[in-house]
Structures are given as C-alpha cells and as structure tokens.
Amino acid sequence: MILPDGYSDIPAGKIAAIVTHLEMTARPAHRADPAGSWSLRKVDAPALTWYRDLFRRVGENWLWFSRARMSDAELAAIIHAAGIEVYALVVDGRDEGLLELDFREPGQCELVYFGVTGNLIGTGAARFLMNRALEIAWSRDVRRVWVHTCTLDHPSALAFYQRSGFRAFRRQIELAADPRLDGTLPRDAARHVPIID
C-alpha cells in the first residue's frame, strides 16, 4: 500500500516510526577507538534471562519491543540459530552493550541489534563497539553489511551509522501496537514518546 502525501492518522494505541535501512558494500575506512576501558565478549548460546535483561537495559528507552514480546521458545529459536552471533560490551565486569550479528544470508551480515546502556551514550563506547562489529563482519566472507534504525531509536543513531560508513538506501514506515499498553514494556518507558490510547 502506498500512503498518500500529507498527514496520515495512526490509530490510537499504536506507535509509528520511520525506518531507514543503510548498507556498506566494502570495508570502510578505519576509525580510531576513543580512549576507554571497554572490551567485547562473545556470548555463545545466550541464556534467555541474560539476553532479555541486556536487551531491556539497552533498548527500553527507545521502545525496543520485538524481542521483548517473544515467547521463550521464539526467542531461543532466533538467538540460538546457526549464523546468529551475540556479543556484549563489557565495562568494569558488567555487560553494558549489545551487538547481535546475523550471518544467515550468504555473503551478508546484518547488525540486528546495536546499542549501549544509557550511562555509556556519548562516551565513545558505541564507537568502540561499532569498530569491533565492523572488524568481525568484514573478517568473514561478506560483500555487504547492513543495518536499520528508526526514529524511535536514539537521535544520534542515524548520523552515527552514516559516519561509520553506511549509506542509506531504503525508507519505510513501521506501525506497531504500543508495547507499553500490553505489558511488554513498563508504562513509564520512553516518556519522550507520549502514549496515545
């Protein structure tokens, strides 16, 4: 369906976002790591409670709901699938950033989830995490690395990805049931996005 020009009503109880898809088809120029004592840890066969906790701490303020809404069986089927790799950014022994890579499509890598917890935003930790993500992705037999971000994500995300070497190629509108209305996320999450019900 093609939306008409002009304003379109979003039904009460739903959220809406503009999604931008970005890609790179060659290894980008190296960017220096900011100074900081971060490290990356590969998490094989992540425990569901561990994954849910980190996903929530990184994404709740940005209304990340997709994985939070899944049953344990659905979540395990994805994050334990062959070709999915989950990494944690470690700070002072704590997992404070999430990187999930999807190599299931031959020749491609999708950054499925990428983010750091609130205290680390704007500290250089995300640049460290992106440098590691691109090193891992481009060390494999890939021709394309891609990611998408939406207007509910942190406002720096799109420019951050562009500086990282990604080029925008597709724009979509995504509608979804507001995850704060069905118990997926707490009602007071993401106060900057008002609930309209």
Ligand X SMILES: CC(C)(COP(=O)(O)OP(=O)(O)OC[C@H]1O[C@@H](n2cnc3c(N)ncnc32)[C@H](O)[C@@H]1OP(=O)(O)O)[C@@H](O)C(=O)NCCC(=O)NCCS
Residue placing its CB nearer to ligand X in the complex, 108 or 123? 123
Stretch that binds ligand X, among 16-24, 46-54, 122-130, 173-181 (CB under 6 A): 122-130
- CA dist., res. 87 & res. 191, Å (int): 28
- CA dist., res. 91 & res. 103, Å (int): 26
Residue placing its CB nearer to ligand X in the complex, 122 or 186? 122
Tokens, residue 59: 């994404």
Among 21, 31, 80, 144, binds ligand X (CB under 6 A): 31
Q: Closest separation between CB of residue 116 and ligand X, Å?
A: 4
Question: Tokens 């704007």 identify what position?
Answer: 122
Burial class for 160, CB neighbours closer than 10 Å (0-12, 13-18, 19+): middle
Q: Closest separation between CB of residue 153 and ligand X, Å?
A: 4
Q: What string marks each residue from 49 to 88 as x (binds ligand X by CB under 6 A) or -?
A: ---------x---x--------------------------
Secondary structure in 3-state letters for 98-160? EEEEECCCCCEEEEEEEEECHHHCCCCHHHHHHHHHHHHHHCCCCCEEEEEEECCCCCCHHHH
- Asked whether position 157 contacts ligand X by CB under 6 A, the answer is yes
- Asked whether position 109 contacts ligand X by CB under 6 A, the answer is no
Sites of contact with ligand X (CB under 6 A): 31, 34-35, 58, 62, 114-116, 121-127, 149, 153-154, 156-157, 160, 163
